[in-house]
Structure 1
Amino acid sequence: MTDDIQVRRIGADEVDRRLERLADILIDCVAHGASVSFLPPLSRRRALVYWRGVADAVICNERVLLTAEDSTGQIVGTVQMVPAASENQLHSAQVVKVLVERSARRRGVGRRLLSSVSELARNQGKILLTLSTTTGSAAEPLYASEGWQRMGIIPGCVLASDGTYRSATFFYKHL
């Protein structure tokens, strides 16, 4: 299923060169219900500004970006790791923006991204990862099947596109 998918870390210079494609994926995910900090309709301008900010954070070592690419080199998914900045939490990081383009879903891309970010974190001396998702999302069973432990739900944590507030489920994983 994922034999043709390669996951790799990319730097800020490559983020800059691939801004348009990264924006396409973010817009696609938001348009189809992903709760990843944005509400639909997400404008191209806003998506590009977001990815430029990610590039800046990568330069400053405040964020790591991994991409999943198909056999043609086309990005079909991303995941980011945000290492904790606090001295007493340097062993941990947050996983954010697990994005898989709709056309690439159900092919194991999300699993590959989660596995790769866990391996990267482990190689960087991290022993604890955290993440969150909208309760009831398609991502929730994926995280559980990949060994993430549900730690709790916060009701009304996320504003949905229909104007209602939804719960968020928080997960952790010991490496």
Structure 2
Amino acid sequence: MYTVRPLSARELREGAAERLGGLMADTVDGGASIGFLAPLDRAAAAGWWRALAPDVEAGRLLVWVAETPGEGRIAGTVQLRPAATDNGRHRADVAKLMVHRADRGQGLAGRLLAALESAAGELGLRTLVLDTETDSPAERMYAAAGWTRVGTVPDFATDPAGVPRATTVFYKALPDGAARDEG
């Protein structure tokens, strides 16, 4: 069984970044298009995660992890970035949903998304947006999880091998969330 929980900025600074760097390297080296080229250096990936700590601390970014019990290995993660503009207080971007190749098929992606969606609703967010590589397993997973396909953008990003690929944009409308506090 896995535990899904939010991650703090302190945890990113004190060792979680290294574990997340390993997860990210596995994800990229496995062919997932999440913004990096393969092979991904684990130390560079850990540095990327550590650099997120100020945004997590300020509440500009929320990060969840799925951990294995006992050993505390990070098997998956997802991020939520609420919009920073006044007219976007009701929406957020979902990013970097990753599940380690050894842990796929256990429902972790769905559990991570459910935790993120629940927290987004509690924050008063009503509209979530994400993009993913077209024709990827991730695209099928988002559709199955109730996300609505908006369309595709040709050659939007490259895969980890550097080959341009189309990206599919999705959104999800959350039920009756109240707008975030305007103050």
Aligned CA-pair RMSD: 1.0
Of the three residues 13, 18, 24, the one matched with 1:16 is 13
Report deviation, 1:68: 0.7
Distance change (3 Å), C-alpha of 1:97 and 1:163: closer
**Structure with higher RCO (Cα < 8 A, 6+ apart):** 2
Of the three residues 8, 26, 30, the one matched with 1:28 is 26
Report deviation, 1:122: 0.3
Rounded to whole Å, the distance in 1 between the matches of 2:109 and 2:24 is 15
Aligned identity (percent) is 40
TM-score by length of 2: 0.91
AA in 1 matched with 2:9: A
Q: How does 1:88-127 map to 2 (within 5 A)?
A: 88-127=87-126
The residue aligned with 1:67 is 65
Report deviation, 1:161: 3.5
Distance change (3 Å), C-alpha of 1:26 and 1:162: closer
Report deviation, 1:97: 0.2
The residue aligned with 1:39 is 37
Q: Unpaired runs of 5+ in structure 2? A: 175-183
TM-score by length of 1: 0.95
Report deviation, 1:19: 1.8
Of the three residues 43, 47, 50, the one matched with 1:49 is 47
Deviates more, 1:145-154 or 1:15-24: 15-24
Which aligned runs of 4 or more in structure 1 are off by greater than 2 angstroms?
Answer: 160-164
AA in 2 matched with 1:30: V
Secondary structure of the structure 1 residue equivalent to 2:33:
coil
Rounded to whole Å, the distance in 1 between the matches of 2:162 and 2:50 is 28
Q: Unpaired runs of 5+ in structure 1? A: none
Secondary structure of the structure 1 residue equivalent to 2:131:
strand
| 1:61-106 deviation per Cα after TM superposition (whole angstroms, max 9, x unaligned) | 2100101112223211000000000100100000000010110001
AA in 2 matched with 1:25: L
Deviates more, 1:17-26 or 1:86-95: 17-26
